[in-house]
Amino acid sequence: METNYKNLSILIPTINERDNLKKMLPELRNRYPGASLYILDDGSTDGTYGYMEKITTGKVTGPSFKNPVYFLSRDKNIILTNDTDFDRENFNRDRLNLRNTAGLTASVLDGLAMVETENFTVIDADFQHPLELIDKMSSKLKNNELITAYRAKLKGFPFYRKLITKLGTFIAKSALPPHSRVKDPLSGAFAGKTAYIRRHIFNTPAFKGEGFKVLFDLLKILPNSVRIGETGYEFKMRSRGESKIGFKQMCVFFKSVFTPKTTKLYSGLLLFLITLAVGLTLIFIYGDIAISDYLRAVTAQNPGLKSFFRIVTDYGNPLYYAIFIFILLYGIIKKRKRILKLALIYILVQVIASGIITGGLKIAVGRPRPKPAAKYKSFKHDFFTESSEYKSFPSGHTTDAFSSAGVLWGFLSSYLFSFLAFGFSMLIGISRIFVGSHYPLDVLAGMAVGFLTGLIITIKKF
């Protein structure tokens, strides 16, 4: 029995893709009988308008189109359709005031405002999205309000393109709330329940009509209660046509991802990288062991300085522990789920960073702890050892301290307290060198493990 897709609209944003449409539209007609086809043009100059005029007037060669077909020419503000009952008044209303806004997002939103079916899907016209993906997405809308398609495979793409895709996905995810972080928030293929999605777009005054990543902008506004499904597909190289992404669209995208939250994330990463670069440069110039010996000699000549760093190294992390115990108890007593969640995330970070990563590296690397220069006969690692004398790399105290700093940096909106936590953790790390327990490289490794684990997990969960 043939499936009828009369409750589905297929939205296809285009620019100069007439040749792709000549191949795609007949296939959609045959594969999805009854589905409404919306061609949302953004100023094509390759004859797309003329071809669509033939389709909507029945002058195209081959079988006629029984599917409702709609062609919106955005630069001319006109529509072509074979639907005699089409509500042109609704079209002319331009509820989102998008007709003079260029870009893929505006095209999709303009088309979505006209859709009359229960469900819709969005795909590109360049065949990078396989046509069977439409059915895969729409079939999952029974139990979800939104379905996103993620690029499970990038067929034929060079390494640098894959790297750019991964980087863009990471940046986009960092700007989204946890409940809407899908595998591919920058995907151009997605499906949704028309009334649900349209309601949230129309009721969000600040919803952006610019740009080219409509799914990303949509994910930012959906509530916690939204049910999102996902399906994978093989993303192929473009065979013809031109990309819809220009310099202006890229600027709009980066402007949209740099929210206060993502700015906090990248400022933390920048501070970490600067600190790491300075530390590694000093080690490269003066040597890891030489720096350790020099600092130990300084403390030997200054008993007061040694006492200070001994206090820092002994009581620095217990201060952090006390702070997070207080946070945990406060969350329990006051029944503040967000505060309680912060304390639990801190425990998780400590287990992963200090318990698993640093603990595993200490045993595997087996680096000897610092000794007075006169006692050095040889400098040999004792790999995979349980001996405490060979657990110098990374510094566990430093990992603990920077785990705390990473969690606070990712959670707090205040830069002042975030910088204070980072600076205090650095002081704890340096104290480990002054008291003779670690080398500078051990401290940098502990900083990397602790801060990155704490920051990334906290940002991801909040």
Q: Is the peptide bond before 394 cis (omega within 30 degrees of 0)?
A: yes
Task: Please state whether beta strands 146-155 and 228-236 pair in parallel, antiparallel, or not at all (unpaired).
Answer: parallel
Last residue of a domain, one of 257, 287, 303: 257
* Residue 243 pLDDT greater than 80, yes or no: no
Q: Tokens at residue 270, please?
A: 């920048």
Pair 216, 306 in one domain = no
Pair 155, 45 in one domain = yes
Pair 137, 283 in one domain = no
* Residue 386 pLDDT greater than 80, yes or no: yes
Residue 347 lies in a domain: yes
Residue 1 lies in a domain: no
Report DSSP letters for 125-174, one per residue: SSSSS-THHHHHHHGGGGS-SEEEEEEEEEET--HHHHHHHHHHHHHHHH
Give the count of domains, the chain. Answer: 2
Per-residue pLDDT at 43: 81
Higher pLDDT, 246 or 258: 258
Q: What number is the average pLDDT over the span 448-458?
A: 94
Per-residue pLDDT at 251: 53
Q: Tokens at residue 12, please?
A: 């296809």
Q: What number is the average pLDDT over the span 352-377?
A: 82
Which range marks the domain in which residue 279 is found?
A: 260-461
Phi, psi angles (nearest 5°) of residue 70:
-130, 130
Least confident among 81-95, 231-245, 256-270, 312-326? 231-245
Pair 180, 50 in one domain = yes
Pair 319, 428 in one domain = yes
DSSP state of 223: -
Pair 297, 247 in one domain = no
Residue 90 lies in a domain: yes
* Residue 448 pLDDT greater than 50, yes or no: yes
User: To which H or E segment does residue 419 belong?
Assistant: helix 415-434
**What is the radius of gyration, based on Cα positions, of the chain?**
29
Residue 2 lies in a domain: no
The rounded percent of the chain whose pLDDT value lies above 70 is 88
* Residue 94 pLDDT greater than 90, yes or no: no
Per-residue pLDDT at 254: 57
Query: For residue 374, what pLDDT band results from cuts at 50, 70 and 90?
Result: very low
Query: For residue 418, what pLDDT band results from cuts at 50, 70 and 90?
Result: very high
* Residue 247 pLDDT greater than 70, yes or no: no
Pair 201, 120 in one domain = yes
Pair 50, 68 in one domain = yes
Q: What number is the average pLDDT over the span 234-251?
A: 57
8 A C-beta contact, residue 120 and residue 10: yes
Cα separation values, 274 from 271, 411, 432, Å: 5, 21, 20
Query: For residue 132, what pLDDT band results from cuts at 50, 70 and 90?
Result: very high
* Residue 345 pLDDT greater than 60, yes or no: yes
Q: What number is the average pLDDT over the span 32-49?
A: 89
Q: What number is the average pLDDT over the span 361-369?
A: 92
What is the per-residue pLDDT across 189-226, written as a single tens digit (0 to 9) for each?
A: 999 999 999 898 888 766 665 656 788 888 988 999 99
Q: What number is the average pLDDT over the span 136-152?
A: 92
| Residue in the block written with tokens 């390494």 | 159
Pair 244, 267 in one domain = no
Residue 44 lies in a domain: yes
User: pTM score, two decimals?
Assistant: 0.66
| Residue in the block written with tokens 């959670």 | 411
Per-residue pLDDT at 372: 57
8 A C-beta contact, residue 369 and residue 292: no
* Residue 326 pLDDT greater than 70, yes or no: yes
User: To which H or E segment does residue 190 belong?
Assistant: strand 190-193
Residue 252 lies in a domain: yes
Chain-wide mean pLDDT for the chain? 86
8 A C-beta contact, residue 196 and residue 118: no
Residue 369 lies in a domain: yes
Q: Tokens at residue 316, please?
A: 């620095």
Query: For residue 357, what pLDDT band results from cuts at 50, 70 and 90?
Result: very high
| DSSP helix/strand/coil, 71 | strand
Pair 101, 242 in one domain = yes
Per-residue pLDDT at 230: 94
CATH of the domain at 148: 3.90.550.10
Pair 134, 203 in one domain = yes
Q: For residue 122, list its beta bridge partners.
A: 11, 190
Q: For residue 41, list its beta bridge partners.
A: 14, 73
Q: For residue 146, list its beta bridge partners.
A: 192, 228
Task: Please state whether beta strands 36-41 and 69-73 pair in parallel, antiparallel, or not at all (unpaired).
Answer: parallel
Pair 80, 219 in one domain = yes
Last residue of a domain, one of 257, 277, 293: 257
Q: What number is the average pLDDT over the span 291-312?
A: 91
Cα separation values, 269 from 62, 222, 387, 451, 453, Å: 58, 28, 34, 9, 11
Last residue of a domain, one of 207, 226, 257: 257
Q: Interhelix angle for 440-461 vs 260-286, to 10°?
A: 170
Instruction: Tell me how far apart the alpha carbons of residues 15 and 42 are, in angstroms, rounded to a whole number.
Output: 5
Residue 3 lies in a domain: no
What is the per-residue pLDDT across 44-89, written as a single tens digit (0 to 9) for each?
A: 888 898 999 988 888 877 777 888 999 988 767 788 898 888 877 7
Q: What number is the average pLDDT over the span 365-373?
A: 80
Instruction: Tell me how far apart the alpha carbons of residues 165 and 184 are, in angstroms, rounded to a whole number.
Output: 9
Phi, psi angles (nearest 5°) of residue 236:
-105, 160
